[in-house]
Amino acid sequence: MNILVVDDARDMQLILRRTLTLMGHQVMLADDGQQAWHLIQQHNFQVVISDWVMPVMDGPTLCRTIRAANLPYYVYVILLTGMSGKQSLIQGMDAGADDFATKPIVREELEVRLRAAERVLDLEHTLEEKNHRLETVNRSLSQAQAVIQNDLERAAILQTGVLPRQKLFGRLCVDWYFQPAQYIGGDTFNYFPVNDDLLFFYSIDVSGHGISSALLSMCLQTLLSSTGELCCIEELTQENANEFPTRLAERLNYHLNHMLDTGDHYLTLIVGLVDTAEERLYFAQAGHPQPFLLNPATGALEKIECTGFPIGLLPDMEYETIQKPFPPGSRFIMYSDGLLELQKPSGEPFTEADLQEHLQDLMEYPASQVMSHLGDKLGLTKAGVGKPDDISLLVIDFCG
Amino acid sequence: MKHSTRTEGEFTIVTIEESRMDAAVAPEFKNCIAQLLAGGANRLVLDISSVQFMDSSSLGVLVSLLKMVGNRGDLMIAGAKGIVADLFKLTRMDRVFRMVPDVGSVLGTVAA
């Protein structure tokens, strides 16, 4: 080992150097603490054997200086003392010494003490290596995380990018709100006109949230697009509009149970049509939260009582189409259950009835303003507040 | 996931001692029941009367467990209430699972 011997007595220096050199160590000498500290900064000593009482800088002060410097490697310090007794031991340990020896020191004793030093330094070295490896792993993990985060941010922009932009279709005004729990999510929706009178729409919530849910929701966007293989929009006419939602739900359920391996994922949805010529609304419900319908005659926002099997959970389920009058002045609202996982400022859970009440209060506002008002009321716009689940809401108004 | 298991005659009763069954506990829950099934318990009663909230991932796990049980036995749901019971109704899972008001009614004894 590289050992520094610090002593103001020349004879002591020479005895120690001779003994240590014979043991196979490399030895340097210093006359006091200050000289020692200069040498320590220039050389890599593993062990310092220092006298206690010295001019300029004594042993305990040297010890404290070494510890305070926080060197990148460990220096094992043995303090030599002529003094005995508890008090000096306490002082020395407090200064950061690792071991003590009383003068005069004999070879055998020095040998055991240095073996102890070696054990500690070995441990220290192993720890240092492990720390170093951990730091390397940590760095690569942080890098990987940064890459994933960046990817997710891009993906979030893309996922929002597939959502419909157009919000006016003749007398139908549509608006929506979309907020994934983590960058991307399993909620999605779409709507597009089939002809001058029919508007097709759906609102979907894939179970779970995160990457796989988001990818399934993107996959559904494709399957249910106007040119998608499941939608078969060309089959749709005014006459069969009342069966179309059922057929589509059944087709989608078949597809998810037999054609697409969705793992543990399934989805709830509402899919339907607004017919402005017949002034009717047709939709199928598959386990999605019950939608609200504003009755323009009474001004009341009513919850439509309906139940249905989620899609992709069990094969061969039957679905039905619900029909409702949809005269001018009507409003239809669908949402995902993420809204019902929010908390009120009081800490109580936000319920279906609370949502209905809020939406009833916003009845006078056009669809385009409902979202911002609701967002304010529910604190959705607060930045940095994580949401427990994906949130989406879709409003369709038949403007009078 | 906190739960306790006991056997009463041919029934294995699993009591969920969590107020939330969500994505955080769903995988563990699935593992735990799947192990019971693998161990030969095929008449299961799941007491969820302490559960105040259940999310879609836990409902998905319940259905996959029901599929595991298949025709070999039963997976009964006991004590669903409040918004948990509403979730079973909304998704028509109350028609898929055998729902019972409490464990006592399965065992044919008077519930305390």
pLDDT, block means (10 residues), chain A with 400 residues: 94 92 94 94 94 91 93 91 75 90 85 94 92 95 94 88 91 91 87 93 89 90 84 81 93 91 89 95 96 94 95 93 96 92 82 92 90 83 68 91
Chain B residues 13-72 with CB within 8 Å of chain A: 23, 53, 55-57, 59-61, 63-64
Q: Residues near A153 by Cβ (< 8 Å), separated by ≥ 6?
A: A183
CA A174 – CA A171 distance, rounded (Å): 10
* pLDDT of the residue at A230: 78
Residues paired with A300 in a beta bridge: A295
For residue A169, the surrounding DSSP H or E stretch is strand A168-169
pLDDT given at position A383? 58
CA distances to A255, B44, B62 from A258, rounded to whole Å, are 5, 28, 20
Structure-token pair, residue A128: 């240092």
Give the global pTM.
0.77
What 8-state DSSP symbol labels residue A343? Answer: B
Q: Is any Cβ of chain B less than 8 angstroms from the Cβ of A314?
A: yes
Q: Report how many Cβ contacts below 8 Å link chain A to chain B.
A: 51
Q: What is the dihedral of CA A249, A193, A177, B59, to 10 degrees?
A: 0
**pLDDT in the model for residue A273:** 95
pLDDT for position A380: 75
ipTM of the complex: 0.89
Residues of A in contact with B85 (CB under 8 A): none
* Low-confidence spans in chain B with pLDDT less than 70: 109-112
Whether residue A309 lies within 8 A of chain B, CB to CB, comes out as yes
**Contacts B92 to A, Cβ<8 Å:** 287, 307-309
Angle between helices B56-69 and B26-38 (to 10 degrees): 10
Give the nearest partner residue to A208 out of B23, B64, B93, using CB atoms.
B23
User: A389, B53: Cβ pair inside 8 Å?
Assistant: no
Please answer yes or no on whether B91 and A337 come within 8 Å at the CB atom.
no
Geometric angle at alpha carbon A282, from A197 and A293, rounded to 5°: 100
CA distance A109 to A5: 16
What pLDDT sits at residue A185? 84
Mutate to test the interface with B, among A205, A307, A343 (most CBs of B within 10 A): A307
Reduced to 3 states, what is the DSSP secondary structure of residue B31? Answer: helix
